[in-house]
Amino acid sequence: MFKMNVVRTLFALGLMIGCAQGAQASLLDQVQKRGFLICGSNPGVPGFGLPDDKGGWTGFDVDFCRAVAAAIFNDPTKVKFIALSAKDRFTALQSGEVDLLSRNTTWTLSRETGQGFLFAGISYYDGQGFLVRKKLNLSSALELSGASICVQQGTTTELNLADFFRGNNMKYEPVNFANAEEAVRAYEGGRCDAYTTDASGLYVERQRLTDPEDSVVLPEIISKEPLGPAVRQGDDEWFNLVKWTLYALVNAEELGVNAKNVDEKAKSDRPEVRRLLGFEGNFGEGLGLGADWAYRIVKHVGNYGEIFDRNLGEGSPLKIKRGINALWTKGGLQYAPPIR
Amino acid sequence: MTAGSDGLSPFKAMKLRRHPALEFWYDAKARAILLQSAFVVAFVALAIFAFIDVRANMEARGIATDLSFLGKVAGFDINQSLIPYSAASTYGRAFVVGLLNTLLVAAVSLALATVLGFIVGFARLSKNWIVGQTAMAYVEAIRNVPLLLQLLFWYNAVLKPLPSPKQSLPLPFGMFLNNRGLFAPAPVFEAGAVWLVAALCVSLLAAVAMRLTPKRIKFATPSRAFFSGVAAALLLVLPLAAFVGAGTPVAFVQPELKGFNFVGGVRLLPEFVALVLGLSLYTAAFIAEIVRAGVEAVPRGQREAAAAIGLDRADADRLVIAPQAMRLIVPLLTSQYLNLIKNSSLAVFIGYPDLVQVFAGTVLNQTGAAVQVIFITMAVYLAISLVASLAMNLYGRRFALVER
């Protein structure tokens, strides 16, 4: 792990020296010339980002990368995924090893002001919770005083955990691991009384335990975890492209355009739909893309709701409810600025 | 070949046509100085250019380039700290915590590895077949399995299956063992303990003084054994007398099961135990081979010569064999020590909060100061290794050949 970080840092140094003077080609040009997108993904969180037995990748965050690739290349397969642990992800994005980080990463102020990133929006509204063994008979996280808690290091989780216990005047022992996998294994082995991460991750990890029925998720959500794709600062065109890919997905769901009916909807008279699919105006041009950029996204990857259902919701083994991730028209928080 | 035919190499042929203004170029010393200074200038210029450029590029991307992050509040907790630390402490303090944890695990492992390594090394030299073969089996088994796997083995296979705190294994002296670690009573010193400390200091000083007594005075007394006996008595009897005399001023706080875990007493983390076990067992195997090689490298004639001048076996070992063997052992031992110190960074895989885990892990990630953090971490390992190597070189001088 340390070695990887050293390699990444040296790589970053080399790159920063490399791109010394003169104007650099924009990232979109570089990606187009290269012929594929490089996306930083989760090394293995089912539902969000997971390589399958055939070497393909599936998941909610993975599909977002595919949507960006579909907008640029009209081909969702033109993505190279790089698995990044929580610890390594920022160095990889800073150094330019990946074009885009789509890996359930929390949007915070310091990540934008101190680390040189921009978050393109919130693709998943999450919050931190606790997984504990049923036989402890706990009903609230406030009963965890004195407990040993396994946590993945280099995450906002680690900080929220400290805040929560400090704020409630309780003691605890943090046991930090570089990977979620090791942290969960330590919890399962009895080293810790609880495992903590974002609630979505808790449901996923619980499914992967040898005996999921032995553990329960406590009701408290102790933090706000707005997760979304992040890019490097300094390339507004690329930032816009990633941001509007996310908005196109949400707008498509709101307008009822999905992968199945997108060709049919092309005949629609609704001006919003016509603008989205590129029949009125040429909004793709400003993004450096063709007029049909959003059509390509929906055609190949589907809309926000389809991506959610397929990977996390009813169409997946996780069966996570839309909850606050429902559209604003349905009582949730997902809201996209209009395409016009 | 043509040039060689008239007895001149091509170089020498050129030399004949050298220009007077370039005369200095043909002076080997001047040329060396010139080339080397040119190299140094180029290297320094490149380093300065790289530094300025990296800084400019990082600033252009909105990444902090200074060390001010060290003074900011860390906001995360660490489960083992030798100095007071909380989430309200700074990143700089978290760095010190990680550094001390690294030094602690390295120091304990070094001591254990050395003791075990010497024991196994001598065992390999033993004439007893079973002892020799056992030692060899140990060395071959440990030396040929990657250290990381051994650490994972100790952590996951040995320590994890221990019982939960509620079913702790009681050990002698009020200690408990469970999957949260080893818990032992903590000594608490009462007022009278000053006498105990004073007695300890006095007897230690006396023992050191005796050790430093010139040989000619020592040899005037009955025997060496007598001297050792007096030293041991001093070390044992005086503190014991003070302990009883002051009314047993040391109390022990027993660890107690409270809620999730034991509270009170001293605690060794399972991560610490696994790391110390893995590192010291692994390094001991290499040290054992070094010890064996060092002893075997002393020519057989030396022992025979020692016997010829009437030294018994123990004196021959101590006065003739050991100094010559140590001359070979110490430099090799140094490199094993350096390996052990650097290998301690594998702590990150089993969740022990060492320098790499805390600083190059969490701090790097929370601050985004990747370049600064990695450079500091590398500099720290370099400094630790240089100090260790310097200490070993000074120690090794004792065994250097003295030319008379």
> Structure tokens of B345?
């960074």
- Best of A113, A137, A153 to disrupt the B interface (most B CBs within 10 Å) is A153
Give the pLDDT confidence score for residue A2 in this predicted structure.
Answer: 53
Give the pLDDT confidence score for residue A15 in this predicted structure.
Answer: 55
Q: Inform me whether the C-beta atom of residue B349 falls under 8 Å from chain A C-beta atoms.
A: yes
Interchain CB distance below 8 Å, B75 and A163 = yes
- Give the tens place of pLDDT for each residue, A268-290: 889 999 999 998 888 999 999 99
Interchain CB distance below 8 Å, A5 and B156 = no
Task: Select from B54, B380, B211, B324 the least CA-distant residue to A10.
Answer: B54
Q: In B, residues 218-257, which contact A (CB 8 Å cutoff)? A: none
- Best of B46, B366, B382 to disrupt the A interface (most A CBs within 10 Å) is B366
Clarify whether residues A119 and A238 are in a common domain: yes
Q: What single-letter amino acid sits at A6?
A: V
Q: Which of A19, A146, A166 sits opposite B87 (nearest CB)?
A: A166
Clarify whether residues A111 and A231 are in a common domain: yes
Clarify whether residues A115 and A231 are in a common domain: yes
CB atoms near residue A108 (< 10 Å): 18
pTM: 0.79
Clarify whether residues A173 and A212 are in a common domain: yes
Give the pLDDT confidence score for residue B30 in this predicted structure.
Answer: 86
Give the pLDDT confidence score for residue A14 in this predicted structure.
Answer: 58
What is the rounded (10 degree) CA torsion for B276, B282, B287, B288?
120
Clarify whether residues A163 and A284 are in a common domain: no
Clarify whether residues A105 and A246 are in a common domain: yes
Give the pLDDT confidence score for residue A20 in this predicted structure.
Answer: 42
A12, closest residue in chain B (CA to CA): B371
Q: Which of A12, A146, A174 sits opposite B79 (nearest CB)?
A: A174
Clarify whether residues A57 and A185 are in a common domain: no
* ipTM of model over 0.90: no
Q: Inform me whether the C-beta atom of residue A6 falls under 8 Å from chain B C-beta atoms.
A: yes
| pLDDT by residue, tens only, chain B of 404 residues | 444 445 555 555 555 666 777 777 788 888 889 999 999 999 999 999 998 988 888 887 777 788 889 999 998 999 888 899 988 899 999 999 999 999 999 999 999 999 999 999 999 998 899 999 999 999 999 999 999 999 999 998 877 788 888 888 888 888 888 888 888 888 777 777 777 788 888 888 877 777 776 666 655 555 666 667 777 777 777 777 777 777 777 777 788 887 788 887 788 899 999 999 999 999 999 999 999 999 999 998 998 999 999 988 888 888 889 889 999 999 999 999 999 999 999 998 888 999 999 999 889 888 888 889 999 999 999 999 999 999 999 988 888 777 76
CA distance B204 to B206: 5
Q: What is the CATH number of the domain that holds A289?
A: 3.40.190.10
Instruction: Indicate the helix (H) or strand (E) that contains B160.
Output: none
Give the pLDDT confidence score for residue A330 in this predicted structure.
Answer: 93
Q: Inform me whether the C-beta atom of residue A86 falls under 8 Å from chain B C-beta atoms.
A: yes
Per the listing, tokens 């083992």 go with B80
CA distance B4 to B160: 76
Q: In what order do the strands lie in the sheet with B175-178?
A: B169-171, B175-178, B181-184, B266-268
Interchain CB distance below 8 Å, A1 and B78 = no
Instruction: Indicate the helix (H) or strand (E) that contains A195.
Output: strand A194-198
Q: Inform me whether the C-beta atom of residue B389 falls under 8 Å from chain A C-beta atoms.
A: no
Q: Inform me whether the C-beta atom of residue A189 falls under 8 Å from chain B C-beta atoms.
A: yes
CATH of the domain spanning B91-168+269-397:
1.10.3720.10
- Best of A130, A132, A160, A176 to disrupt the B interface (most B CBs within 10 Å) is A176
B51, closest residue in chain A (CA to CA): A17
Clarify whether residues A188 and A210 are in a common domain: yes
Contacts of B357 in chain A (CB under 8 A): 153, 176, 178
Closest chain B C-alpha to A202 CA, distance in angstroms: 20
A88, closest residue in chain B (CA to CA): B365
Q: Which residues of chain A have pLDDT under 50?
A: 1, 18-23
Q: Which of B60, B263, B353 sits opposite A176 (nearest CB)?
A: B353
Domain tally, chain A: 2
Q: Inform me whether the C-beta atom of residue B260 falls under 8 Å from chain A C-beta atoms.
A: yes
Q: Inform me whether the C-beta atom of residue A113 falls under 8 Å from chain B C-beta atoms.
A: yes
Range of the domain at A163: 128-223
> Quick check: helix, strand or coil at residue A259?
coil
Closest chain A C-alpha to B58 CA, distance in angstroms: 7
Q: In B, residues 122-181, which contact A (CB 8 Å cutoff)? A: 156, 160-162, 164, 179-180
Clarify whether residues A163 and A186 are in a common domain: yes
Q: Inform me whether the C-beta atom of residue A116 falls under 8 Å from chain B C-beta atoms.
A: yes
Q: What single-letter amino acid sits at B191?
A: A
Contacts of A103 in chain B (CB under 8 A): none
Which of A223, A247, A267 corresponds to the end of one domain? A223
Q: Which of A87, A116, A147 sits opposite B365 (nearest CB)?
A: A87
Contacts of B362 in chain A (CB under 8 A): 153-154, 158, 176
φ, ψ for residue A49 (rounded to 5)? -165, 120
Strand A79-83 to A37-41 pairing:
parallel
Q: Are B181 and B321 in contact (CB under 8 A)?
A: no
- Best of B70, B162, B260 to disrupt the A interface (most A CBs within 10 Å) is B260
Contacts of B270 in chain A (CB under 8 A): 191
In terms of residues, how long is chain A? 340
Q: Has residue A116 been placed in a domain?
A: yes
Q: Inform me whether the C-beta atom of residue A110 falls under 8 Å from chain B C-beta atoms.
A: yes
Clarify whether residues A161 and A300 are in a common domain: no
Task: Select from B76, B118, B129 the least CA-distant residue to B98.
Answer: B76
Q: Has residue A16 been placed in a domain?
A: no
Q: Has residue A7 been placed in a domain?
A: no
Which of A198, A223, A248 corresponds to the end of one domain? A223
Clarify whether residues A322 and A235 are in a common domain: yes
